[in-house]
Amino acid sequence: MSARRVLIFGGIALIAGGMLFGDIFAVFLLHQNGGRTGEALLAASRAVTARDSAAVRQDFARIGGLLEDHGTKLDAHAHMIAAGYLALLLALLQPYVALSCRSRKILAQLFVAVGLLLPLGIFLIHYVGLAYSPFSVIGWASVLADFAGALLIAVLIAEAWGLWRYFRGLRPDVGEPALPPDNSWESRTLLAGGTLLIVIGFLYGAWYAAFDLYEHEAREKNILSAMLNASTGSGGDAAQFVGDYGRLQAEKAVDVAAHSHIIEFGLLAILLTFVQRFVFLNSRWKRFWVRLLLAGSIILPLFVLLEMHLGLIAGGIADLGGLMVLIALLGMLAGILRYTGALDAQEENAR
Amino acid sequence: MSAARKLLIFGGLALAAFGMLYGLHYALFVEHQTLDRMGGSLTTAFVDAAERNLPATQLAIDEYTDTKYNYVRQVDAHSHWIGLAMVMIILGVVLERLTFREGTRVAIALALSIGSFSFPSAVILQTLTHRSSLSSGVAVVGSALVIIAMVAAAVGFARQRILA
């Protein structure tokens, strides 16, 4: 298998794995974790009313654990998908990497392996903690994740070195053929749709930074002050402020998730433009997977945003959108597997 | 390979490596300490409130919000550098499909490259110069450059579709 094929398979598998993990996280863990964090915060505010400092510390230790659990899972999801995107990008650049065939292949295999190791390390941070660690705040799982991150950087620098050699006029012994232009309906639709998704995501991000970010930060400070004033008996209902705090966190989370997901899906659509020629399916199926992917790419961020107004129904529809993207991705991967199977069969027949 | 394409692909790879190096440095030397400080100051605020020491409570809340202000921006800069680097590389690969003259392509590549570096840099600058107009101004200009470049790219692709 050539370096490009390793990177295409590995990249799509990492993206699909990251999305599946994200869907499982969203359905089974996200809301439950948020609910438990709210309960712990309410317990802390009641401990403040009861002047019980020890109970406050206990409640915050629980909140810290819950937030770490939430944050590491979110980071594992995001880093796995980002590694997948980078793998697909490197696949596109392979014709211009002036390194030997063997070096390119080793780099590709290493990239995919550490692309899996990095999110695994991040995922384990919450469970491994500081067990047997010689450091005061960094555990072995963090060390694993940081090591994988360093290896990713090293591979990227090596690929950049290969590109630099190509631009200096050097050519690899056995190069990957450059991709011929593809002007098919699938390719054009993914390119246009992906670019549009990215532009919408950028505009939404700019809107969020201009009108919501600072307001959210100021509101968080006010709610915390009001919560503690109410807990000390200076007026107001602490439970209501805990609820307000939870809603604010949810508001921030949906804004950030909508912004990041729409851009990521746009990137994915553009990247998939280049693998369409390798999807060995008839045009009816190819178009179906493209439509499904783009529909899911709009549904997920849109309904994530609507979650604040429509509640869990919108959350369920958003999860369905994520599942549509995932299924479309697996459908295309199946087509690519058929293509490479056909290539292998041709090579065998030629021998 | 055109100059615009080289700029986007090399610039994108360099920016991705830079963003990752920043992330690695942040994870090793800053993140855990920042999270500890953030959690610690919020706990302190509640403990001080339990002890009815309200001025100390307010100070701890201020410290918590300041630390969180920095944390959010540091993480955002890392993710935006890498995300925008990927956009640069992709646009570099498909640049030939933009139905514009080479000069326009170079302008788009320049706008995207400058914006992709300066926007997250300005976000980091905000942590050093809290809410200064300089950092906010650079962030606005950087993000505007990125958006304009992507809108121009979308127009270029749409024209290709019409011509096809």
Cβ distance B153 to A44 less than 8 Å, yes or no, reads no
Q: What is the DSSP letter of A163?
A: H
pLDDT of the residue at B117? 96
Q: Which of B146, B25, B2, B31 is nearest to B83 (CA)?
A: B146
Q: How far apart (Å, rounded) are the C-alpha atoms in residues A69 and B25?
A: 22
User: Taking 70 as the threshold, does the pLDDT of residue A5 lie above it?
Assistant: yes
Would you put residue B52 in left (φ > 0), alpha (ψ -120 to 50) or beta?
Answer: left
Q: How far apart (Å, rounded) are the C-alpha atoms in residues A83 and A149?
A: 10
Tokens of A268: 């994915």
pLDDT of the residue at B133? 86
Question: Chain B: residue nearest A256 by CA?
Answer: B76
What angle (nearest 5°) sits at the alpha carbon of residue A278, between those of residues A272 and A280?
115
pLDDT, averaged across chain B: 90
The position carrying tokens 């202000």 is: B69
Q: Identify the sign of the CA torsion A194, A296, A27, A36.
A: positive
% of chain A with per-residue pLDDT over 90: 67
pLDDT of the residue at A339? 79
**CA B116 from centre of chain:** 7
Cβ distance B47 to A152 less than 8 Å, yes or no, reads no
CA atoms within 13 A on the CB side of A308: 16
Residue range A10-33, pLDDT digits in tens: 999 999 999 999 989 888 888 889
Mean pLDDT of B32-57: 92
Q: Which residue of B20, B45, B82 is in closest CB contact with A228?
A: B45
| 98-137 in chain B: CB under 8 A from chain A | none
Query: Percent helix, strand, coil in chain A (nearest 5)?
Result: 85, 0, 15
Residue range A54-113, pLDDT digits in tens: 999 999 999 999 999 999 999 999 999 999 999 999 998 898 899 999 999 999 999 999
Residues 6 or more apart whose Cβ sits within 8 Å of residue B133: none
Band (B161; pLDDT cuts 50, 70, 90): low
Residue range A211-263, pLDDT digits in tens: 999 999 999 999 999 999 999 987 778 899 999 999 999 999 999 999 999 99
Q: Are A202 and B143 in contact (CB under 8 A)?
A: yes
Cβ distance A64 to B143 less than 8 Å, yes or no, reads no
What angle (nearest 5°) sits at the alpha carbon of residue A328, between those of residues A118 and B90?
60
Mean pLDDT of A272-289: 89
Q: How far apart (Å, rounded) are the C-alpha atoms in residues A342 and B14?
A: 37
Residues 6 or more apart whose Cβ sits within 8 Å of residue A164: B10
Q: Identify the sign of the CA torsion B22, B26, B27, B29.
A: positive
Q: Which residue of B17, B46, B69 is in closest CB contact with A157?
A: B17
Stronger pLDDT, A181 or B15, i.e. the higher one: B15
What angle (nearest 5°) sits at the alpha carbon of residue B100, between those of residues B99 and B103?
155
User: Taking 90 as the threshold, does the pLDDT of residue A47 lie above it?
Assistant: yes
Burial A276-308 (b: 16+ CB within 10 A, else e): bbbbbbeeeebeebbebbbebbbbbbbbbbbbe
Tokens of A252: 């921030």
Residue numbers in B near A152 (CB within 8 A): 20
pTM assigned to the model? 0.86
Q: Is B139 on the interface with A (CB under 8 A)?
A: yes
Residues 6 or more apart whose Cβ sits within 8 Å of residue A87: A7, A8, A10, A11, A14, A108, A111, A112, A115
Q: Which of A115, A277, A99 is nearest to A176 (CA)?
A: A99
Tokens of B28: 């090793």
User: Taking 60 as the threshold, does the pLDDT of residue B163 lie above it?
Assistant: no
Q: How far apart (Å, rounded) are the C-alpha atoms in residues A298 and A265?
A: 9
Tokens of A167: 């631009």
pLDDT, averaged across chain A: 90
Q: Which of A39, A162, A54 is nearest to A98 (CA)?
A: A162
- What is the distance in angstroms between the Cα of B71 and the nearest Cα belonging to chain A? 12
Q: What is the DSSP letter of A277?
A: G
User: Taking 80 as the threshold, does the pLDDT of residue A349 lie above it?
Assistant: no
Q: What is the DSSP letter of A268?
A: H
pLDDT of the residue at A143? 93
| 16-45 in chain B: CB under 8 A from chain A | 16-17, 20-21, 23-24, 27-28, 32-33, 36, 39, 42-43, 45
Tokens of B36: 């500890």
Helices (H), chain B: 3-25, 32-50, 54-94, 102-128, 133-163
Residue range A129-177, pLDDT digits in tens: 888 888 877 889 999 999 999 999 999 999 999 998 998 888 877 777 7
Burial A53-89 (b: 16+ CB within 10 A, else e): bebbbebbebbbebbebbebbbbbbbbbbbbbbbbbb
Q: How far apart (Å, rounded) are the C-alpha atoms in residues A167 and A29?
A: 48
Phi and psi of A28, rounded to 5°?
Answer: -105, -15
Mean pLDDT of B88-102: 88
**Mutation target among A37, A75, A89 for the B interface, most CBs of B within 10 A:** A89
Q: Which residue of A60, A188, A198 is in closest CB contact with B161?
A: A188
Q: What is the DSSP letter of A350?
A: H
C-alpha distances (whole Å) from A314 to each of A192, A243, A306, A311 are 27, 20, 6, 6
Q: Which of B83, B84, B158, B163 is nearest to A193 (CA)?
A: B158
The domain ranges of chain A are 1-177, 179-351
Q: What is the DSSP letter of A50?
A: T
**Mutation target among A202, A208, A220, A272 for the B interface, most CBs of B within 10 A:** A202
Tokens of A190: 């993914």
